[in-house]
Structure 1
Amino acid sequence: MKRTIFKWTLASLMIGFFGQQESIAQTKESQYNYKEAFNPIFYSNNGSPYRSASGKPGHQYWQNAASYDIKVSLNDQTHEVKGTVKISYTNNSPDELAFIWLQIEQNLFNQESIGQATVPLSNSRYGDAGSSFNGGYTLSNIKDQSGKELKNSINDTRMRIDLPTPLAANGGKTEFSLDFSYIVPEYGADRTGILPTANGDIYAIAQWYPKVAVYDDVLGWNSLPYTGPGEFYMEYGDFNVEITAPANHIVVMGGELLNPQDVWTKDQLARYNKAKDSDKTVLIRSESEVSSANSRPQKKTLTWKYRLENARDVAWASSKAFIIDAAKINLPSGKKSLALSAYPKESNGGNAWERSTEYTKASIEYYSKKWMEYPYPVAINVASNVGGMEYPAIVFCGNRAKAASLWGVTDHEFGHIWFPMIVGSNERLHAWMDEGFNTFINELSTEVFNKGEYNRPMGTKNSMTQVLMNPALEPVMTTPQGMKERNIGILAYYKPAFALRILRDEVLGAERFDNAFKKYIEYWAYKHPTPDDFFRTIENETGENLAWFWRGWFLNNWALDQAITDVHYPDLDPTKGAIISISNLEKMAMPVVIEATTVSGKKVRTKLPVEIWERNQSWRFLLNTTEKLTSVKIDPDGVYPDSNPENNSWKSK
């Protein structure tokens, strides 16, 4: 490599000094360590038969499976959910299993739970300490398939079942069942609850049945307690669910309704079937019909039968107050799904929930075309006192949301179908792998919805820099339980989404990134990826070593501070170009975009790759211009999260 040496004179040094003395005065000592940022050792584990170094599942990748048959009833006088669950479990691991862990998440609402002990006194999404409500499960008749009682023990939100005979590796199967009941909390950590309305309560039912914890090749049993902040991690399987509720209720569940003729009136059934073929929203039960006894079958109770296949969870809602409307979802393969909304009269009108089905349909059609086809027969949006929570084929959104806020929460919750319902990451440990990825795809969706109806860019992209790069933040890779609650929104949602947008738009380019991101979804659909699997996939698909990027954005809470330290002309001759000196003053490395303005008003822009920082704290380069410069600016579009923009500009004196 030929190295160019420029001729320096006293005059040129003086020009550089006086022309940049203000910036030099502001320049601090660099904290940047290129040996740390570009350390070639990034991954702590090599590829294995289970997880390939390429980011794909390995040739011996395995995961266990759990399917559920549930029969349950809702008592709207006592707010009790009561039922029986039969669990069919398959051990595909190479290990014998002597016991099985279950997650019993309603025990969070027991006054003696770990979650109740750690929730703040007030202003917490997960409830307030000192609540008088004392919930949790009553569990009984825990039996194997032959009817024998199974030894078990309960610790907080976890239940261990000891098997009489170890479950064989590589395909061993077992079945067991248990009875359960609990009182639905009015406000269940913003994931389940009861919303009073003028025409009756709305029950949003989630975390409602005992479920098998994940056994994987990373941690073995994933049996961390449910305390509120960390969400969920579950195996895939099939669900057959029968829900018995008062006949004046309508029950919606994320799944195929198997007996519509038994639970709809004749008119509602006709409208329900019409909606399946309609691109326009069809009212199945109008606001005026809600208060009419004839709008429901004249019986005491009804049993709604649902089935959902290859899913990791189910949730449902029930109310006599529901307005119901629906429309067809068109999928890329030619298949159809059904967008359906359930909401009370208080949520109807004024650009509010009457548009919910439109939003649901648009969101799912966009993501299906962009990333991977929507897999479920329905997509149900329920207005509730849950601000926003996702489950396979059904989401709960705030009943007071309207206009842009309703589009935003609907689009966000249905975006979760891709992360983590299809790509089944461990939310309990890595919230950013579902919330951050989803927030990232939401921004793309909102840009195109209804020709940008709700797309409201707020200034430059880096306007949140001071928030995202706050030195008091924990790293993004921290578990949600290990973050200050006020930081979860930043670290799980906005910072990783911002990072992906920078990686897409500024480092890799949209086409390269989108292709790699789509491959990540394809490789890990209905499987359990780790952060390394994501990092490796993006690197292998794009051909880039991005350790410097993952370190700065995810593993550490590093800041960025790029600075102009000097501008002068070779041999005092502006026709020979301008030599610009820049420094990297904080620990994060990023590409550098420079724009210079000449005395004639011409703008000259150049982009320097991140590799200039691979072995340097500072860098000089020749900008090809032929006239004097009036100003030079780093990041003229306001894209990069520079923590000190004051040293990003130089102006001629």
Structure 2
Amino acid sequence: MKNPALACRFAAGLLVAGTLSAPVFADSPAGGYDPQALFAPLSLPDAANAFRGGAGKQGPLFWQNRADYAIQAEIDPANHALRGEETITYTNHSPDALDVLWLQLDQNIYRRDSRAALGSPRPRAEATDGYQIDAVELDGKPVHFLVDDTRMRVDLPQALESGGKQLKLHVRYRYTVPGPWGGRTAVTPTKNGDIYEIAQWFPRMAVYDDLRGWDTLPYLGSEFYLEYGDIDYAVTVPWNYLVAGSGELTNPNEVLTATQRQRLAQAAQSDHTVLIRTPQEVTDPASRPKQSGTQTWRFHMAHTRDVAFAASPAFVWDAARINLPEGKHALAMSVYPVEAVGKDKWDRSTEYLKGAVEHFSAKWYPYPWPVAVNLAGHGAGMEYPGIVFDGIEDSGPMLFWISAHEIGHTWFPMIVGSNERRNAFMDEGFNTFIDIYASDAFNHGEYAPKRDSEYAPKGGNPVDEILPLLADAQAPTLMAPADSVGEKYRHPVSYFKGALGLVLLREQILGPERFDPAFRKYIATWAYHHPTPSDFFRFMSSETGEDLAWWWRGWYLNNWQLDMGVSGASYVDKDPAKGVTITFASKQKLVMPATLRIDFVDGSHRDVRVPVEIWRQSATPSLTLNTSARIKQLTLDPDHKLPDADRSNNSFVMP
């Protein structure tokens, strides 16, 4: 999510905001269709080369660096603090020798003097001191480092050579965990103790890639761009805490009771939710294997770009089996305080999580990790690999939608690792798109359609709700940098327009038969890699066998509107038996393939697909169809599937 308090709620429904903010990279044409402009050759932002080819795939010289982590951390409840140390094994697959390393220090966004804080129209009422870096060492020796806002530069005494050479960087650090106001990471009080939602909690390597070298955009609130690797982490907490985190718990015999281990084994074989710790057991010391001191929980997460965890004495815990393709399985788990218990509340969380993961896995790409966790906390509505943070108060359809949306981020951008700080639509838009079909699939459409939420009236048409955004001369395009898009535009553009663009591409331009296999192949091709918008555009055009340059130009690179209509019709030689010639007109810069419905006087009708190619040479093209009966009316887009700005000219009544 781009804004944790608001973005997570938007994830439950498709919406165009009623009030829109100041201009960012505005491009809203005054109108007038020009076929030479729409169908001109398209130069994409990133040129094809030996690293990224013309088919949208990795080229023969493609490379990607790797970051593996071994982390030890301890929660200090008395001071709401975390202390940690990490060893980063960094592998340089680039063709360049690297004399510096850049790390991301996301906790520094909470400093009063951070770029994000100073640039925000509403400064936070509270703040922290961010990361306190106690040591940075290479081979046991201190190395010089420089902290600049949310980044840290480490100066290497000797350059790290190319060709897969490695180094091990050791960092010791500490910070105060933000309170509930902290957004994506927080301490949230409940009646049985605090919930620690711990994310962006260790210094992480910035990405060095073939596009920009070190990509060191400061953390201003837009999300992440991270290297892949394996992460082993250990979390020390008081004896009465449970910890739920990304990846596999590797020491269950040390931190779980025999009863809890037996229940987990039962859950691993069950399609129904099994309670691992009941609400009644939350305050029972016997639900922990020891009754004093601390315990260390150990986790392993393979092939990931990040990990997060939650810790609390207040957790109810349940789980169920996830059924994956090819007979494989994973485990869906939920942890939540007793305040969230209820048959319409978090009692169904694991059911929702299981259903969403099974749908996404069967439809697009198998879930890659052993566990998926849903946490009830202060309501960040935030996603991390293998674990998502949702709200204690969530219930009913909202809980399903938010759970499905957040775990849907497993596919975008946790598996397909796009750069969220630059291209938000490849994160939120792609994920919102797959959410739509997950809502249709769950429990025979129990919560379908997805957009039936507090934000969108039941029965509303999303192609109409996008119209104010397309008509707004101040609106940014989908390609605008994420940090340059104001909050009032963020959801209409990145989420709604990004998702609707794929719905239109799938259902109106290509058809599911071409779109679905290509989209699945895109995910598999770019799994655990870093595609750009140009890679996606090229890939989908190549795989679907369709030159989509006009669509990328109109919907993504610009906010061009659509206003097609039927301007006239006449029978050939004035004889209905010889056919009909129909004239179309476009008053805006974008056109699309559309259905033309011919209603005959005898009460029958015929639908004809009008391809986009009729518009390649004229703004007022004509089409002659073989018909043999008298026509009552012609209607373009009769089922209201297209975002047509003015539908008053879509129908023509024959004289």
- Flag whether TM exceeds 0.5 (same fold): yes
The equivalent residue for 2:205 is 212
Question: Structure 1: which amino acid aligns with 2:370?
Answer: P
The equivalent residue for 2:265 is 273
Specify the SS of the correspondent of 1:567.
Answer: strand
- Alpha-carbon deviation of 1:545? 0.9
- Which stretch of the first structure deviates more once superposed, 40-49 or 471-480? 40-49
Match 2:125 to one of 120, 126, 131: 131
- Alpha-carbon deviation of 1:486? 1.1
- Tell me, yes or no, if the aligned pair for 1:461 and 1:640 is still in contact at 8 Å: no
- Which stretch of the first structure deviates more once superposed, 98-107 or 494-503? 494-503
Q: Deviations over 1:610-649 (max 9, x none)?
A: 1111121111112433344332221111111011112212
Q: Deviations over 1:172-209 (max 9, x none)?
A: 21111111111111146531112221111111110111
- Alpha-carbon deviation of 1:74? 0.5
- Which stretch of the first structure deviates more once superposed, 367-376 or 571-580? 571-580
The equivalent residue for 2:408 is 415
- Tell me, yes or no, if the aligned pair for 2:418 and 2:427 is still in contact at 8 Å: yes
- How far apart, CA to CA, are the structure 2 residues paired with 1:30 and 1:181? 56
- Alpha-carbon deviation of 1:249? 0.9
Match 2:631 to one of 621, 629, 635: 629
The equivalent residue for 2:389 is 396
Question: Structure 1: which amino acid aligns with 2:275?
Answer: L
Q: Deviations over 1:567-617 (max 9, x none)?
A: 233333333333221111111121132112222222222111111111211
The equivalent residue for 2:304 is 311
- How far apart, CA to CA, are the structure 1 residues paired with 2:71 and 2:350? 28
Question: Structure 1: which amino acid aligns with 2:532?
Answer: T
The equivalent residue for 1:565 is 567
TM-score for both structures, normalised by structure 2 = 0.92
Question: Structure 2: which amino acid aligns with 1:441?
Answer: I
**1:224-243 → structure 2 map (5 Å cutoff):** 224-228=217-221, 230-243=222-235
- Tell me, yes or no, if the aligned pair for 1:29 and 1:585 is still in contact at 8 Å: no
The equivalent residue for 2:324 is 331
The equivalent residue for 2:146 is 153
- Tell me, yes or no, if the aligned pair for 1:106 and 1:136 is still in contact at 8 Å: yes
Question: Is the alpha carbon distance of 1:138 and 1:632 closer, same or farther for their aligned partners in structure 2, counting shifts above 3 Å?
Answer: same
- How far apart, CA to CA, are the structure 2 residues paired with 1:647 and 1:282? 57
Q: Deviations over 1:299-320 (max 9, x none)?
A: 2211101111110000000111
Specify the SS of the correspondent of 1:387.
Answer: strand
- Alpha-carbon deviation of 1:119? 1.9
The equivalent residue for 1:541 is 543
- Tell me, yes or no, if the aligned pair for 1:81 and 1:183 is still in contact at 8 Å: yes
Match 2:650 to one of 624, 640, 648: 648
The equivalent residue for 2:254 is 262
Question: Structure 2: which amino acid aligns with 1:120?
Answer: P
**1:27-42 → structure 2 map (5 Å cutoff):** 31-42=32-43
The equivalent residue for 2:138 is 144
- How far apart, CA to CA, are the structure 2 residues paired with 1:552 and 1:376? 38
Matched, 1:600 2:602: yes
Matched, 1:576 2:578: yes
The equivalent residue for 1:609 is 611
**1:490-505 → structure 2 map (5 Å cutoff):** 490-505=492-507
- Alpha-carbon deviation of 1:293? 2.3
- Tell me, yes or no, if the aligned pair for 1:357 and 1:381 is still in contact at 8 Å: yes
**1:27-176 → structure 2 map (5 Å cutoff):** 31-121=32-122, 129-145=123-139, 147-176=140-169
Q: Deviations over 1:320-369 (max 9, x none)?
A: 11000001112213222111100111111041111111111111111111
- How far apart, CA to CA, are the structure 1 residues paired with 2:47 and 2:177? 46
- Alpha-carbon deviation of 1:468? 4.2
- Which stretch of the first structure deviates more once superposed, 351-360 or 160-169? 351-360
- How far apart, CA to CA, are the structure 2 residues paired with 1:485 and 1:189? 18
**1:339-378 → structure 2 map (5 Å cutoff):** 339-378=332-371
- Alpha-carbon deviation of 1:211? 0.5
- How far apart, CA to CA, are the structure 2 residues paired with 1:92 and 1:139? 28
- How far apart, CA to CA, are the structure 1 residues paired with 2:333 and 2:466? 39
Question: Is the alpha carbon distance of 1:286 and 1:539 closer, same or farther for their aligned partners in structure 2, counting shifts above 3 Å?
Answer: same
- How far apart, CA to CA, are the structure 1 residues paired with 2:82 and 2:49? 44
- How far apart, CA to CA, are the structure 1 residues paired with 2:304 and 2:653? 59
Matched, 1:289 2:289: no
- Alpha-carbon deviation of 1:43? 2.9
Question: Is the alpha carbon distance of 1:340 and 1:44 closer, same or farther for their aligned partners in structure 2, counting shifts above 3 Å?
Answer: closer
Question: Structure 1: which amino acid aligns with 2:601?
Answer: V
The equivalent residue for 2:292 is 299
Question: Structure 2: which amino acid aligns with 1:226?
Answer: Y
- How far apart, CA to CA, are the structure 2 residues paired with 1:469 and 1:213? 35
Uncovered stretches (5+) of structure 1, i.e. residues with no partner: 1-27, 122-128
- Tell me, yes or no, if the aligned pair for 2:179 and 2:186 is still in contact at 8 Å: yes
Question: Is the alpha carbon distance of 1:44 and 1:438 closer, same or farther for their aligned partners in structure 2, counting shifts above 3 Å?
Answer: closer
**1:458-497 → structure 2 map (5 Å cutoff):** 458-471=459-472, 472-497=474-499
- How far apart, CA to CA, are the structure 2 residues paired with 1:294 and 1:72? 25
The equivalent residue for 1:9 is none
Question: Structure 2: which amino acid aligns with 1:477?
Answer: M
Amino-acid identity (%): 43
Question: Is the alpha carbon distance of 1:628 and 1:363 closer, same or farther for their aligned partners in structure 2, counting shifts above 3 Å?
Answer: same
- Which stretch of the first structure deviates more once superposed, 513-522 or 327-336? 327-336
Question: Structure 1: which amino acid aligns with 2:299?
Answer: Y
Q: Deviations over 1:278-303 (max 9, x none)?
A: 22111010111112222223122111
Q: How many residues matched?
A: 617
- Which stretch of the first structure deviates more once superposed, 465-474 or 633-642? 465-474
Question: Is the alpha carbon distance of 1:29 and 1:60 closer, same or farther for their aligned partners in structure 2, counting shifts above 3 Å?
Answer: closer
Specify the SS of the correspondent of 1:515.
Answer: helix
- Tell me, yes or no, if the aligned pair for 2:466 and 2:497 is still in contact at 8 Å: no
- Tell me, yes or no, if the aligned pair for 1:461 and 1:638 is still in contact at 8 Å: no
- Tell me, yes or no, if the aligned pair for 1:30 and 1:617 is still in contact at 8 Å: no
- Alpha-carbon deviation of 1:402? 1.2
- Alpha-carbon deviation of 1:372? 1.5
Question: Structure 2: which amino acid aligns with 1:264?
Answer: L
Q: Deviations over 1:408-452 (max 9, x none)?
A: 111111111111111111111011111111111111111111111
- Alpha-carbon deviation of 1:528? 0.8
- How far apart, CA to CA, are the structure 2 residues paired with 1:29 and 1:44? 24
- Tell me, yes or no, if the aligned pair for 1:496 and 1:553 is still in contact at 8 Å: no
- Which stretch of the first structure deviates more once superposed, 601-610 or 215-224? 601-610
Uncovered stretches (5+) of structure 2, i.e. residues with no partner: 1-28, 452-458
- How far apart, CA to CA, are the structure 1 residues paired with 2:549 and 2:96? 33
- Which stretch of the first structure deviates more once superposed, 600-609 or 537-546? 600-609
- How far apart, CA to CA, are the structure 2 residues paired with 1:29 and 1:489? 24
- How far apart, CA to CA, are the structure 1 residues paired with 2:463 and 2:247? 41
Match 1:182 to one of 160, 175, 180: 175
Question: Is the alpha carbon distance of 1:138 and 1:542 closer, same or farther for their aligned partners in structure 2, counting shifts above 3 Å?
Answer: same
Alignment root-mean-square deviation, CA: 1.7
Q: Deviations over 1:18-51 (max 9, x none)?
A: xxxxxxxxxx996111111111233355432211
Query: Higher relative CO (CA 8 A, sep ≥ 6), structure 1 or 2?
Result: 2
The equivalent residue for 1:18 is none
- How far apart, CA to CA, are the structure 1 residues paired with 2:298 and 2:460? 50
- Alpha-carbon deviation of 1:563? 1.8
The equivalent residue for 2:26 is none
